[in-house]
Structure formats: structure tokens, C-alpha cells
A and B are shown apart, each in its own frame.
Chain A
């Protein structure tokens, strides 16, 4: 098929548009994620989950949840959105307490649930003991605990917006646009023949 200048122009404009659209989509997509923690505490307390989306752990990227009922398993459902997740930090209380974690499940959008191995929790601050019995993990904070901190060292298929993903999306959009350009040129060439 002989291709003239106008066809080249059309191809170029559509591929460029497709590429730009692909880039915009890759930047605008903010999937939702859930962290579900089944927890039991010896007393009512306030917990806080920090998520690092590339800005390190900070107060703005955190969620607080209160356990009002002592000695009863409570399910805490934390939700946040973002294209990246680099780390999770769980502050189980702001005061001395004995806490039992039954389960931690990470639910990333479009991924299967990931059950965090409880033996992978890492005590960072104000934690007196951290004991895993094969089913649950029991945490005891220090008597003067003001800010007990746990790190989740296993995050499963955590979302990452890598340059590879961005480039792949740009290329995919450009290919779709190129296909459309071929279709339009084909229609233009053949559609009006008598």
C-alpha cells in the first residue's frame, strides 16, 4: 500500500496522542488497598497504621483506629490508595498493653489477598516481647511505652509504579492508536470507492 504524507501525519498524530494518553493513565491510576488486622488487646487502645508511598512514614499517610472492647478479637480495616507502597508500620498502642495479633491480610487492588506471615513482624520501638506461637503473635509493650512500633517486613505483591510499567503503558496505548490509524486510513482509502 502506498502511503502518502497525510497518512504519515495521521499516524504520527494518533501514535503521539496514544502515547500521551498512556502516560496520563499510568500517572492518574490510584488503586485502593486494604490492610485487615484481627487483633485482641488487654485494654481499650488506639492503633495507628503508617503507609510509605514514597514520602517515608508521616502523620498524613496514616490511619488511626480504636479498639474499644478489651479481650475480644476485633477486625481493623485500614484503607488507602496510591500507585506505590514501599513500607507499612503498625503502632499497636500509645500506652503499655498486651496485644495479640491473630491475622494480617493485605488486599491490593487486582491482586489476590496476601496473608502476612506473623513471624515476619519486626519490633522497632517500645516492644518488650514479641512471641509467635505458630498461630498468633503476642506483643507486650514496655512499661513506659509511649510509641510502640512494629514493621511489616513482608508486603507481598505491593504496588510499584516502575519506569518499566510506565513505558509499557505508553507503548500499549501507542500501539492501540496505531491500529486505529490503520483502520481510519483503510476506511479512507477503501470506503469511498464506487
Chain B
């Protein structure tokens, strides 16, 4: 009874934490009312914890919109004759003009005929005197202006069909100042502007004129939602060129969503189950002390800690992890309560959603994957050690694993290939353990309860669609090994199969396209139309090049990449649920070292130890000599079948096997344990030979 009470208490603690930690907001709008003496471009920024930034912002214009196509299409650029208090003159130079419909900037010479305009030696247009005006035809969509900004530049007025806006060209250090005007025009006076606010917590909102010279008056700033209207306090009465609200009451926080809650219920149950399994394990091994140091487990803990420490440096360097457009899309879907994407396997979304319950930060994925890789890697090495492989032979491979550039980088990357690879290696080694217990005549099978079997099979089958082949391979392998009851295998397999079929059908119906079914059909037709022997021949030819793709830099990151990612999230409007995160390294010194290390890892001969250990591919083939290499065979049963399937699939669709290196990550990861397994097989053969002798 007490046990159930404890279980229930823990479950409730987890559930409450997940619900509390995963709140979101109803849709709401910031409504700004005020007046302006001239229309002005304004940016509304919000800060969710990483400061104001481009991704968390919206650009708009304060003023009354004027009907389109009513104007002359002429832009008037005027030297006003006023300047910044620190400026030494009121000069205006135009460096470039570019219209939306033109590929190149306009030829500035054509404008020198206009009164008051001259061409400078540098090729700029100079508005000679105060009041001088340059007339330019507006672009169909927009026109961009590049002015020279320096300490003697003054104000410039850009007038497009009566929409007159002033800009300050003063700058302490000479620089280019780019301005852009589109065809939509506005009139001064009263305005009402609306901005959709994000669905996550925000700490501050800032409204700022794009040019400090432009100022506005504010009547009210309110937040409007279906829960009502809340007024933000406008402190100070006068002209503003920027204003920040550091209190953003919204009254829109939500905690409960039926579908989300069902998932949180499952996550809480899973966490409680894992915690209980852990406690049961500790108790079964005779307490914490024994778990830490009994049966030479200190070896495991040292390896685990070392691996986790080494991997964590990569996270510090590339904080908060690495994302591509796919990752952002899935992260956004996972943040959206009750929402499921239909282009990706649902397990992938559940994976991110589960981690988001714990900590809503991209870094949580990196931390989890680092933990899982360290745990799995250290466990395999420790298990090999326990099964008789000398520690001295294990050390080089352990060091190779923890210093591996691809492993370090992939651990912090938000791709489904990483959890998939971990699951595949887990299963591959599980079959090795089954084989080991048989070879050692040990009756104690590697334990796997009903739930664990179900969970691990479901995950490996549905993290990536190419994992679906394990729905057949794993149950078949377990049945042949005869270590798990057939009835259990059958029930679990049937359950997972039903879930897989239901999810794929649901996906096809909801997305209105049949990605999996369509691809399977296409694959089968192409496969049947090609010669089997030619296919096998092609697979054999391409297999040694499986890790060859390193020159394509599948994993690449620099400042531009990060900017692109933020712009992508904003463009797709994912910034309603995806927060901006600070991408600066947590340690510049670690970043400089690891970034250099990463770049040199692509250079020969280092690449053969990092991205392209092609020689391991030949070693995997030792498994075909089942009698002498039973462990490699068991290992390869899970790994090489997937490789065969991937190659078959790719060759059926295109003659070339040029595809992302990340698809092969599972085989790459498994490679670190291959040579120790071969050595254990050789040791076993030698012992048999001695016994016979």
C-alpha cells in the first residue's frame, strides 16, 4: 500500500511540475494608439529572456494608410538644412539607389542634370545646398537608398507621394546608411497599430522609431485578448522616439489542454516508472555504495563522467545546440499544445515535447543526448570489460569515442538521427548480450520487461521511418534467440505494429499526402522493375563509400547560419512559440579550440579517424563468418540490415548514393564498439581452441 502511495505521490509531483512548467498564452495583440506629425517606420521588440533581438520583433508604420496606386510614383529626396546637435554641417550624399525591379543599382550619372545635384569624385550624388531636391522614380515594390552617414551629414527628407519622413544621417564614424521605402504610403495624424504577441512569456516590450529623429505621441498602449483588455502604463507625457514596458500583464496564461494533458500524464508516468526502476536497481544491487563501487562499477562511473564532461564542452562552445529548419519546425510543433506535425514521425515530436516539459530550452536536447550517449557508450565498454576484454584494450576506443568530433557535434544537434542511432546501437548491443549469455552458458537473460520492450521497439521503429524494418527484424531476432517468451514478443510486436499503422494512416489523412505509403509503393515498384543481381552489385559497390560524404559539411555552423535560422523562424512565424535564444558561446576559449578542432577534422588523414572510418565497414563484414565471430554477427544483424535497406532504398530511387552523412550516423556510432567486439570474439575463439587442446 505504502509503495503505491509513494508511486502516486511521485507521479503527482511530476505531473504538477510538467503542467506548471509548460504554460502558454492565448492569442493576444498589442494595440498602440497615438499621433504622429509624420508617418514613421517603427519596430516593436519583445524580450523573452535573451534581450531584444531581430527574431522577436515586428516592423510596422505609425500613420494612416493611404489607398494604393493613387500617387505619382516619384520619390523626392530633399536636403532639409537641419542636423543632429553634434553634426558639423547639414550635407547629404546619395551613394546608391536600387529599385525592386532592377537587378543592379541605378546609374547615378543620369541624375546629375537635376538642379542642385552634383556628382562627387567618389561617384556619389551630392545635394549641394539646403533645400536641394533629387527626384527618382519609385520601385514597383520598393526602393532602397544608400546615404553616406558621417559627422558632417544632416537630415534628409524622403517624400513619396506626400508621405514625408525625416532621417538623421549623422554618425560619429563614417558608414553607409541604408533606407527602404515601399509603395504603401501613410498620412500623419492619429494612428492605431496592432501587433500579434507571442504565445510564450515575455518580460519586456519596446516600441522604437527606426530613426531616432522621428517621434510619436502615445494615447494608450493596451493588450487585447479574448480575456479582455489590459492597459500598459505609459510613463511620461511628451514625444517619444522609443519606450519600453517592463511589466507585461496579459491575463492569458493557459495550463490545461486536453490532448496536451494526456501526454503530460504519460510523461509523468514514464518518469515515475524510470525513477522506480532506478531505485529498484539500486536496491537490488545492495545500495548506493554498491552501485557506485561494487563489481568494479567505478570503471563505468569514471567512463560515464569522463564522456559526459568531454561532450559538454561541445555544448558550451555551440550553445544552446545546433538546429536546422527541420529542427525548428518540429520544436515549434512540440511547443504548440496538442499539435502534431504530419510530415515527421510523431515520436520525434513527443521526444521534444517530453524534454520541453523539463526545461524549455534547446539545450535540453543536447544535454539529454550527451547523457544518453555517455550512458550507452560507457555501459557497452563496461559490459565488454566484465565479459573478459582487458581494460587496456578498451581504453583507446573509449578515448576515441569521447574525443570524436562527429559524436560531440551530433550530441548537441536537434536531429532525429541522433536518438535513432542511440536506439539502433542499444538494440544491436542487446543482441550481442543475448549472444554472450548463450555463449557463456548463463541462464540469466538480459532482463527486459514488457513495458521496456514495447517502449524501445516503438521508439526504434518510429523515430525515423526507415526504422520500420525493425518491426520485423527485432521480434524475429528475439524469437530466434529464445530468451524472451514468444507470447510476450508477439503481444508487444502486435501492439507496436498497430500503433505504427494507425499513426501512418492518421498522418496520411491529416497531411492529405501519403508520404510513407507513397514512398513504400514507389520503392516496391522500382525494386520489382530492376534486376535483383544488379541491385546487389550496386549495393556492394557503394557500401565501402557509406561514410564518404564528409566534404559536404553536413554539420556546419557560423554566425550567418545562426542569423539565417532566426530569420527562417521569423519568416515562417514560428516565433509565436519558439523563443529567441542567445547563441553566443558560453566560453570563447573553448569555442576557439573546438571550432578549430572541428575544421581540421575534415582534413586528411584526420578524417579517417573522425568522419570517414571506412575501414570499419570492412570489419562489419566479419559477421558473415558467424562461427568465428558470433558477437559481430549479432551486432551486425541490427546494423547491417539497416545499411542494406538504406542503400537499397537510395539506389532504387537514384543511381547515386549521394545523401546526407547524418543518415549513416547509427552505423558510425556503432563503429566505436566494433573492434572491441571483434577482439572479444577472437579471445573467445582462442579460449575454445585452448580448451580443445
Our verdict on whether A and B bind, yes or no, reads: yes
Interface centre among B168, B204, B215, B236 (most CB of A within 10 A): B236
Q: Which residues of A contact B213 (CB under 8 A)?
A: 66, 68
Query: Is B288 part of the contact surface with A, judged by Cβ < 8 Å?
Result: yes
Determine whether the beta carbon of B239 is less than 8 Å from that of A69: yes
State which of B2, B236, B288 has its C-beta within 8 Å of the C-beta of A10. Answer: B288
Q: Which residues of B contact A1 (CB under 8 A)?
A: none
Q: A113 and B215 in contact (CB under 8 A), knowing A188-B279, A190-B2?
A: no
Determine whether the beta carbon of A187 is less than 8 Å from that of B288: no
Q: A105 and B235 in contact (CB under 8 A), knowing A6-B289, A45-B85, A190-B6?
A: yes
Number of A-B contacts (CB under 8 A): 103
Determine whether the beta carbon of B239 is less than 8 Å from that of A46: no
| Residues from 185 to 240 in B contacting A, C-beta threshold 8 Å | 203-204, 212-213, 215, 235-240
CB distance from B168 to the nearest CB of A (A): 8
State how many residues of chain B have any CB contact under 8 Å with chain A. Answer: 34
CB distance from B559 to the nearest CB of A (A): 23
Closest Cβ neighbor of A45 among chain B residues? B85
**Docked pose: A194 CA to B287 CA in angstroms:** 17
Determine whether the beta carbon of B237 is less than 8 Å from that of A38: yes
| Residues from 102 to 153 in A contacting B, C-beta threshold 8 Å | 102-103, 105, 107, 109, 113
Closest Cβ neighbor of A5 among chain B residues? B289
Determine whether the beta carbon of A187 is less than 8 Å from that of B10: yes
Closest Cβ neighbor of B238 among chain A residues? A73
Query: Is A61 part of the contact surface with B, judged by Cβ < 8 Å?
Result: no
Determine whether the beta carbon of B244 is less than 8 Å from that of A77: yes
State how many residues of chain A have any CB contact under 8 Å with chain B. Answer: 43
Determine whether the beta carbon of A69 is less than 8 Å from that of B215: yes
Q: A46 and B287 in contact (CB under 8 A), knowing A113-B235, A187-B6, A187-B279?
A: no
Query: Is B243 part of the contact surface with A, judged by Cβ < 8 Å?
Result: yes
Query: Is B276 part of the contact surface with A, judged by Cβ < 8 Å?
Result: yes
Determine whether the beta carbon of A72 is less than 8 Å from that of B3: no
Query: Is A3 part of the contact surface with B, judged by Cβ < 8 Å?
Result: no
**Docked pose: A187 CA to B278 CA in angstroms:** 11
Q: Which residues of B contact A79 (CB under 8 A)?
A: 244
Query: Is A191 part of the contact surface with B, judged by Cβ < 8 Å?
Result: yes
Query: Is B242 part of the contact surface with A, judged by Cβ < 8 Å?
Result: yes
**Docked pose: A188 CA to B3 CA in angstroms:** 10
Closest Cβ neighbor of A105 among chain B residues? B235
**Docked pose: A192 CA to B3 CA in angstroms:** 6
**Docked pose: A184 CA to B282 CA in angstroms:** 12
CB distance from A56 to the nearest CB of B (A): 23
Determine whether the beta carbon of B246 is less than 8 Å from that of A75: no
Query: Is B490 part of the contact surface with A, judged by Cβ < 8 Å?
Result: no
Q: Which residues of A contact B204 (CB under 8 A)?
A: 32
* Cβ proximity bits A154-194 to B, threshold 8 Å, 1 near / 0 not: 00000000000000000000000000000000111011111
Determine whether the beta carbon of A75 is less than 8 Å from that of B86: no
Determine whether the beta carbon of B289 is less than 8 Å from that of A75: no
Q: Which residues of A contact B241 (CB under 8 A)?
A: 74
Determine whether the beta carbon of A95 is less than 8 Å from that of B282: no
CB distance from A188 to the nearest CB of B (A): 5
* Cβ proximity bits B1-22 to A, threshold 8 Å, 1 near / 0 not: 0110011001000000000000
Determine whether the beta carbon of A75 is less than 8 Å from that of B239: yes
Query: Is A36 part of the contact surface with B, judged by Cβ < 8 Å?
Result: yes
Determine whether the beta carbon of A188 is less than 8 Å from that of B282: yes
Interface centre among A5, A77, A190 (most CB of B within 10 A): A77
**Docked pose: A33 CA to B213 CA in angstroms:** 24
**Docked pose: A166 CA to B644 CA in angstroms:** 59
Residues in B lying within 8 Å of A, measured CB to CB: 2-3, 6-7, 10, 84-86, 168, 203-204, 212-213, 215, 235-244, 246, 275-276, 279-280, 282-283, 287-289
A-B contact pairs, 26 of them (CB 8 A): A6-B289, A9-B289, A38-B237, A46-B84, A65-B212, A68-B212, A68-B213, A69-B239, A72-B238, A73-B237, A73-B238, A74-B240, A75-B238, A75-B239, A75-B243, A77-B236, A79-B244, A95-B85, A102-B238, A103-B236, A107-B235, A187-B10, A190-B6, A192-B3, A192-B279, A192-B280
What 12 new A-B contacts, CB under 8 Å, besides A46-B85, A65-B212, A192-B280? A9-B289, A36-B235, A43-B85, A66-B213, A68-B212, A74-B215, A74-B240, A75-B237, A93-B85, A187-B279, A190-B2, A190-B6
